[in-house]
Structure 1
Amino acid sequence: MSTTNLQQNRDDWLTLVPHGQFVTRQWLLAQGVTLHAFDNAVKSAKLMPLTRGVYTRSDVPVAWQGVSASLNRVLDGPVYVGGLSALAQHGLAHYISFSTVIELYSPLPVPSWLGGLKIATSFNWHSTARIWDTSALLKSGSLKTISIHQGEWLLASPEQAFLEVLALVPSTISFEQADNIMQGLVNLSPRRLDSLLKACKHVQVKRLFFFFADRYQHAWRQKLHAEDYDLGAGKRSIVADGKLDTTYNITVPEIFHG
């Protein structure tokens, strides 16, 4: 065997690191890569560190899509682009700039190294534990798989993304923002909304969803019935000094009342 072929075989494991994506050292070793081979790849600059314990190929920069795809490779559970970032990707939040901050959602805890990645984009990590029954969410078909070079990343549907936005009202997202977004959600799927509302564990989100949906009465609203979903019991104080909406028992800003 020639020296070139021998070297090629020695480097075959580098295909585990797709161009424009990353892996962790721990993950590579778990795939059977030897510590000696790994160290040689780092010393020869075939792999370069993005942060402590996280490595990428040296020839292609890592963009946010590559980060999302990589997270789904190296973590034991789904990680997807959701919330405002997903709405922007679907063109449904045109007044919200698709900034250098990407909203990632997952039932998993945030990796300690995520904030240290040396790339142009930063990420907000949202735990889905309070919002979704993960099994029911995955069965709903609401996550779209987007293919990139040797990998895939996941994107929440507009229906799912809006419900995730509502979980941030009013702490991060204002009533006015949520209302403006709902105004443009003319073509949502009532069938997907039905599945997602049943998968949603967040009572406040579901009440807010129907509150905003009632304001605009898009065609899909007529196919959903609030009584079909668990909206909990009792009042929910969403804003201090707000007015009580007696239909859904939530306090809302006075300008939205009546």
Structure 2
Amino acid sequence: MSISSETKINLLLQDWPLGTVSATSWLNQKGYSNQLLNRYKKSRWLESFDTGALRRVGDSVSYEGAIYTLQHQLALSIHPGGRAALSLLGKAHYLELAQSKVDLFGAEKEVLPAWFKNTDWGIKLDYHQSSFLPAEIGMTEVTVKSFSIKVSSAARAMMECLYLATSSLDLVECYQLMEGMNNLRPNSVQQLLEQCNSIKVKRLFLYMAEKADHQWVQYLTIEEIDMGKGKRSFVKNGSYVSKYQITVPKEMEKNGKQTL
């Protein structure tokens, strides 16, 4: 191996966080040809992760390490959201709820690379392509091992949970999550609600926040939020809430904060 190629691999490994992969397309753009990458593999510096991606020899990569690659190398907005984001934010109250699967969110036209989809990450991953919230707002960074990734903030994660809710049980669980959201920043919540294009999410979010008696609700400017028109029914045989023109599970409307 020539001195130049040794120097290049050293430079590459210096900026390559443990626990992550590198996309071959990104490496090519950085001046690492497929021929050079093959030489690195033969020299046991790198190994194939899947078609289109490489990792350090012997390194263990979790789905978070792949998210790092999607965000930092492929410039995708794909991120852990909903309950998974709450777990990554260190909200111990939500850990059990997040263990069975991870919900990933991305823009409508963002596609997961084949190497990501073909890998068994040891946990169920559901990918949701949606533009109900702009990609750039309500995000925060968390450190995982030796790298950082963007995940939904608590407020955005709560809205993502509501977006995915399809049953009475889902909504009751969402309310239980909302009960723990007592320290959200009103300015961030206001921005998210104003730019959210899901009437369902906005009405349910405000209804639940108000029912949970969170103090930050009083600092929101509700008239600046487009709540849509007409009634919305989210469950069958539920209870109607006239203020928000929504039908919610009976057990949610009937019971108070302490008994739900």
- TM-score of the pair, normalised by structure 1: 0.84
Q: Deviations over 1:98-148 (max 9, x none)?
A: 42633322212233332222543442222231x2123xxx2x4x3222356
What is the CA deviation profile of residues 137-191 of structure 1, one whole-angstrom value per residue up to 9, with x for unaligned ones? x2x4x32223567743112211111111110112596121011111111111111
Question: What RMSD in Å do the two structures reach over aligned CA positions?
Answer: 2.6
Change (3 A) 1:49 1:90: same
- 2:130 — aligned with what? 128
- Residues 133 and 88 of structure 1: is their aligned pair in 2 closer, same or farther, counting only changes over 3 Å? same
Between the aligned partners of 2:220 and 2:188, the Cα distance in structure 1 is: 11
Residue 215 of structure 1 pairs with residue 216 of structure 2? no
Q: What is the CA–CA distance in structure 2 between the aligned matches of 1:150 and 1:181, rounded to whole Å?
A: 29
Aligned to 1:176: 172
Answer yes or no: is the 8 Å Cα contact 2:167–2:235 preserved in 1. Answer: no
Deviation at 1:230, TM superposition (A): 0.6
1:19–1:29 Cα change, 3 Å: same
User: Match of 2:202, as an amino acid?
Assistant: K
Question: 1:190-209 alignment to 2 at 5 Å?
Answer: 190-209=186-205
Which position in structure 1 is the counterpart of 2:113?
111
Aligned counterpart, 1:8: 6
Summarize the alignment of residues 159-170 of structure 1 with structure 2, pairs less than 5 Å apart.
159-170=155-166
> Is 1:101 aligned to residue 101 of structure 2?
yes
Distance in 2, Cα, partners of 1:172 & 1:128: 22
Counterpart amino acid of 1:203? I
Q: Which moved more, 1:156-165 or 1:69-78?
A: 69-78
Partner of 2:258: none
More displaced, 195-204 or 240-249?
240-249
Q: CA deviation at 1:207?
A: 0.5
Which sections of structure 2, spanning at least 5 residues, go unmatched? 255-260
Please give the alpha-carbon distance, in whole angstroms, between the structure 1 residues aligned to 2:181 and 2:207: 14
1:77 to 1:132, Cα distance in 2 relative to 1, 3 A:
same
AA matched with 2:103? E
The answer to whether the 8 Å contact 1:17/1:56 transfers is: no
Contact kept, 8 Å, 1:210 with 1:226, in 2: the verdict is no
Is the Cα–Cα contact under 8 Å of residues 244 and 251 in structure 1 kept in the other structure? yes
Percent identity among equivalent residues?
A: 26
| Change over 3 Å in CA distance of 1:127–1:93 after alignment to 2 | farther
Question: Which blocks of at least 5 consecutive residues in structure 1 are unaligned?
Answer: none
Contact 1:236/1:251 (8 A) holds in 2: yes
Residue identity in the other structure for 1:204: K
CA distance in 2, matches of 1:80, 1:201: 19
The alignment's TM-score, normalised by the length of structure 2, stands at 0.84
